[in-house]
Chain A
Amino acid sequence: MTVDARPNLPPLSLHVPEPKFRPGDTVDFAAVEVPPAGAQPRPDTAADPASFHELAYTLVRVLDDAGQAVGPWNPRLTPDTLRQMLRDMALVRAFDERMFRAQRQGKTSFYMKCLGEEAVAVSATHALSRDDMCFPSYRQQGILIARGYALERMMNQIYSNTADELHGKQLPIMYSSREDGFFSISGNLTTQYPQAVGWAMASAAKGDTRIAATWCGEGSTAEGDFHSALTFATVYKAPVIFNIVNNQWAISSFSGFAGAEATTFAARAIGYGIAGLRVDGNDALAVYAATSWAAERARTNQGPTLIEHFTYRAEGHSTSDDPTQYRSAGEPTAWPLGDPVARLKDHLIAIGEWDEERHAAQDRELAELVKVAQKNAEKNGILGHGLHQPLDSLFDGVFEEMPWHLKEQRQQMLDEETASGRPWARKK
């Protein structure tokens, strides 16, 4: 290898991003710009995306420091809706806590929490119609919970047990529920993005009224599928909402490795001529307002919207991760946008619709609810080296109809079971 540097020119240098804080560093997030709540304009949903580019660089915020909902983005929700959102978010948190512990107790192989990001999925779900189609990543368990999906069913999937509706075929938390408008989660990042566009295009082509929404992490925006999705969506004005959950980290890689040193993720929309919003993702009301605004645009054939939810991944990436290895332990508590559950709670208290005692009682109730669900789910088994899924189900679902070679292989597997002298469960 020869370096052909000309002596009369300055040498080039390679820039490699570096996060502000590493383990042991004192965290100071003063550089994170947090504009005041209520200060951001709310364009008409029919406005040309080119007329509000500034919304891709600020933060749409509704809840102020006093817990009041202010400004044009205030969605003016009823106290009942607010309480339901708070309950759903707290339930997601209680569920996460319990399932994380179940993995640590060896009851399953894997779990992923969304601590600190509960508003992103829960508020958006409340702002969508029940029949809108969601294409989530692995960190939007809040969608299922907000749509009333039974905790026990989620746990059955996590345990890959006999009642697992996905038949133990998929890694824990990779849920799927067609009847709840929840597309099968993939382990491969961002594949859901163009799929959501396709669903939305189909809905538009058929003159339907339903729209699609999809989510991915900020790290995942680097994948080619992200950019394919945005191109299709702008070309066909697809009725789809793109959510980028910018929780600052992608396993050990900070957002700078997805381009955050140069611009915002919401600004990705601008080059494609798509409406872009950057939202305080820990402000449940801002997430709600942005989603319903984007949904209205989609429903009135104004096309796609891209929403960056600015938030923070308060815990490890998954049960396989130890974040103290690569980021400062001080980050989660120093995060300037607070805790989404606490902020919604404070708002409800500030408007006289909630109090600390009720909140504590609700937390106890939810913890109990999760505990009971777990007990029931565990009656169907925990992940125990596969012994809880019927052996002869292994070959189901590869194709609609089983071809000869799979039938032969299934027979081979059953013969192996006989030869092993250790009978496994069979389909009833």
Chain B
Amino acid sequence: MSEAIVSEEVGVSEAGANTRMNMIQAINSAMEVMMARDPSVIVMGEDVGYFGGVFRATAGLQAKFGKTRVFDTPITECGIIGVAIGMGAYGLRPVPEIQFADYIYPALDQLVSEAARLRYRSAGQFTAPLTVRSPFGGGIFGGQTHSQSPEGIFTHVSGVKTVIPSTPYDAKGLLIASIEDNDPVIFFEPKRIYNGPFDGHWDRPSKNWSGHAGGEVPEGYYRIELGKAAIVRPGEAVTILAYGTMVHVVQSTVEDMGVDAEIIDLRTLVPLDIETIEASVKKTGRCMVVHEATRTSGFGSELVSLVQERCFYHLEAPVERVTGFDTPYPHSLEWAYFPGPVRIGQALKKLLKD
């Protein structure tokens, strides 16, 4: 588990005692901690107020902080982000929720043309310190409108940061750092692992976070700096780059196959922790990138380019790319689509062949 980076002025004691949390509770805790520390933090979105969100990530916040700091919104994603930008211009620090990442598209203009460029075009007079939270990814039989992984759309836009946690511990520390960040952050939450890590075997009983080190979370304030990856498993044979749900699928596949892989959980896609990646690939000489999102122009393409630009003479085999297929997310054939243990395993075998 990575160390919490505790900012100097607060001191270690701020983090408080550890307790068991699932990822939803950790995310909820991050918002609660930040709202208590900073009166400019507000939470808004469809169904986030009284009800506490369709995944319950904002449960209890309205009761605690009141309706002018935690409120339901009209169902208009472009409105939600546009309004959040305006609140940011006033000086608030909005944390809007988009109910599913699949519903973020109506907000694209406000995110891409506005939030992402406000600092640049106004010479810093105005900024958009928003953190847009949104559940993403599949594996829940949600069909094509509750399953997508659109992170590659945002990593392609200059001026927004993209953050994706893989454990409750990371989720809380990264969300706090995102809220404190003065630039717009897209914070995608892998909903398949809200309640427990997922090994990629849909037909095995699901696990919860109680048995995982990442389910142990400080009750108070701590941050995990954006732009810092975590080495979740050190190894010598191959470097595997993953994030979100796929970190766990990769981890269990590697254990099952007995491969001495170094698994890097990117945690922040933009800005990327290139140093950690470069050092690892130069050490192992082999690299595989894994994401659930569709393949063509996915974030994996960027990773492969970076690795070959910087580590070409250390590579002993072409970089492998394991992804979802280039189709809309299917309903009934979800598990044929999902880049599970078989797809990862085959790519690993190919990568380690000679």
Query: Which residues of B303-351 are within 8 A (CB) of A?
Result: 325-328, 330-337, 342-343, 345-346
Nearest-CB distance from B103 to chain A (Å)?
6
Residue numbers in A under 8 Å from B328 (CB-CB): 169, 398
Contact call B202/A398, Cβ cutoff below 8 A: no
Q: A18-B67, A224-B76 are in contact. Are A424 and B51 (CB under 8 A)?
A: no
A224 and B102 within 8 A (CB) = no
Known: A169-B328, A170-B144, A326-B51. A413 touches B336 (CB 8 A): yes
CA distance A214 to B113 in the complex (A): 31
B66-115 residues with Cβ-Cβ distance < 8 A to A are 67-68, 71-79, 90-92, 102-103, 105-106
Interfacial chain B residues near A171, Cβ < 8 Å: 142-146, 331
B146 CB contacts on chain A under 8 angstroms: 171, 187
Rounded to whole angstroms, the CA-CA distance of A170 and B334 in the bound complex is 11
Report which of A16, A164, A169, A252 forms a contact with B51, defined as CB distance below 8 A. A252
CB atoms of A325 and B342 under 8 A apart: no
With a cutoff of 8 Å between Cβ atoms, the chain A residues found around residue B144 in the complex are 169-171, 187
What residues of B have a CB within 8 angstroms of the CB of A170 in the complex? 143-144, 331
Chain A residues touching B, majority SS: loop
A219-B327 contact in complex given A386-B334, A394-B336, C-beta closer than 8 Å: no
B105 touches A389 (CB 8 A): no
A412 cross-chain contacts in B, Cβ below 8 A: 343
Q: Which of A258, A385, A389 has the most CB of B within 10 A?
A: A385
Whether the Cβ atoms of A388 and B143 lie closer than 8 Å is no
**Least CB separation from A325: chain B residue:** B51
Give the contacting residue for B91; candidates A1, A18, A424; CB below 8 A. Answer: A1
B295 within 8 A of A: yes
Given known pairs A16-B68, A169-B330, A170-B144, the reply for A222 and B76 (CB within 8 Å) is yes
Nearest Cβ on chain A to B337's Cβ, whole angstroms: 7
Within 8 A of A (CB), among B263-299: 295-296
Contact digits for A253-294, partner B, Cβ 8 Å, 1 yes 0 no = 100011100000000000000000000000000000000000
Bound-state Cα–Cα, A229 to B89, Å: 30
* Contact yes or no, A187 B76, CB < 8 A: no
A187→B147 CA distance, assembly (Å): 11
* Chain B residues closer than 8 Å to A385, beta-carbon distance: 202-203, 334-335
Selected interface stretch from A196-204, A301-309, A415-423: A415-423
Q: How far is the CA of A307 from the CA of B149 in the complex (A)?
A: 37
Chain B residues lying within 8 Å of A26, measured Cβ to Cβ, are: none
Q: Which of A409, A416, A424 contacts B326 (CB 8 A)?
A: A409
Determine if B332 and A168 form an interchain contact, defined as CB atoms under 8 angstroms apart. Answer: yes
Partner of A222, one of B51, B75, B141, B332: B75
| A13 nearest CB across to chain B (Å) | 8
> Contact: B346 with A415, CB < 8 Å?
yes
- Residues B333 and A168 in contact, CB atoms below 8 Å apart: yes
Residue from B141, B335, B343 having most chain A Cβ neighbours under 10 A: B141
B75 and A258 contacting across the interface, CB-CB below 8 Å: yes
A342 within 8 A of B: no
Please name all residues of chain B whose beta carbon is closer than 8 Å to the beta carbon of A383 when the two chains form the complex. Answer: 141, 331-332
Asked, given contacts A224-B76, A386-B336, A413-B336, whether A252 binds B50 with beta carbons under 8 Å apart, the answer is yes
**Does A320 have its Cβ within 8 Å of any Cβ on chain B?**
yes
Q: How far is the CA of A259 from the CA of B342 in the complex (A)?
A: 50
* Interface size classification for chain B: 35 or more
CB contact between B332 and one of A224, A258, A388 (< 8 Å): that residue = A388
CA distance A189 to B145 in the complex (A): 10
Chain A: number of interface residues, binned into ranges: 35 or more
- Contact indicator B346/A16 (Cβ below 8 Å): no
Bound together, the chains give a CA A185 to CA B225 distance in angstroms of 42
CA distance A388 to B51 in the complex (A): 37
Most buried by A among B103, B202, B327, B328: B327
CA distance A394 to B329 in the complex (A): 10
B326 touches A398 (CB 8 A): yes
Verify if B199 is at the interface (C-beta below 8 Å from A): no
Query: Is B102's CB under 8 angstroms from A187's CB?
Result: yes
Cβ contacts under 8 Å, A22 to chain B: 50
Enumerate chain A residues within 8 angstroms of B202, measured Cβ to Cβ: 385
Instruction: Encode contact with B along A160-196: 1 for CB under 8 Å, 0 otherwise.
Output: 1000100011111010000000000011110000000
A389 and B51 in contact, given A250-B75, A257-B73 (Cβ under 8 angstroms):
no
Q: Does A58 contact B (CB under 8 A)?
A: no
- For residue A2, which residue of chain B has the nearest CB? B91
Q: Which residue of A lies closest to B46 (CB)?
A: A253
Whether B54 is near chain A, meaning CB under 8 Å from some CB there, is: yes
Given contacts A170-B144, A398-B327, contact A391 B336 (CB under 8 A): yes
Q: A170-B143, A253-B46, A395-B325 are in contact. Are A416 and B343 (CB under 8 A)?
A: yes
Q: Please, how many angstroms separate the alpha-carbon atoms of A325 and B142 in the complex? A: 22
CB contact between A386 and one of B47, B74, B327, B332 (< 8 Å): that residue: B332
Partner of A326, one of B50, B74, B77: B50
Docked-complex contact A186 and B145, CB < 8 angstroms: yes
Q: Which of A97-156 contact B (CB under 8 A)?
A: 109-110
Cβ–Cβ contact A389 & B332, under 8 A: yes
Q: Kindly list chain A residues whose C-beta atoms are within 8 Å of the C-beta of B342.
A: 416, 419-420
Interface string of B170-210 (1 = CB under 8 A from A): 00000000000000000000000000000000110000000
Contact A386 B335 (CB under 8 A): yes
Q: Is A247 positioned at the interface, with any CB of B under 8 Å from its CB?
A: no
Complex formed: what's the CA distance from A389 to B91 in Å? Answer: 52
Q: With A169-B144, A186-B145, A224-B76 as known contacts, state yes or no: A1 contacts B92, CB within 8 Å.
A: yes
Please encode chain A, from 3 to 31, with 1 for each CB lying within 8 Å of some chain B CB and 0 for all others.
00000000000101110001000000000
Can you list 25 residue pairs at the A/B interface with Cβ under 8 Å? Answer: A1-B39, A2-B91, A16-B49, A109-B142, A109-B331, A169-B330, A174-B143, A187-B145, A188-B102, A222-B74, A222-B76, A253-B46, A253-B51, A257-B75, A258-B75, A325-B51, A386-B332, A386-B336, A389-B332, A389-B333, A405-B295, A406-B325, A419-B342, A419-B345, A424-B336
Closest 8 pairs between A and B when the two form their complex, measured CB to CB? A187-B145, A171-B143, A168-B332, A222-B74, A252-B51, A160-B332, A1-B91, A109-B141
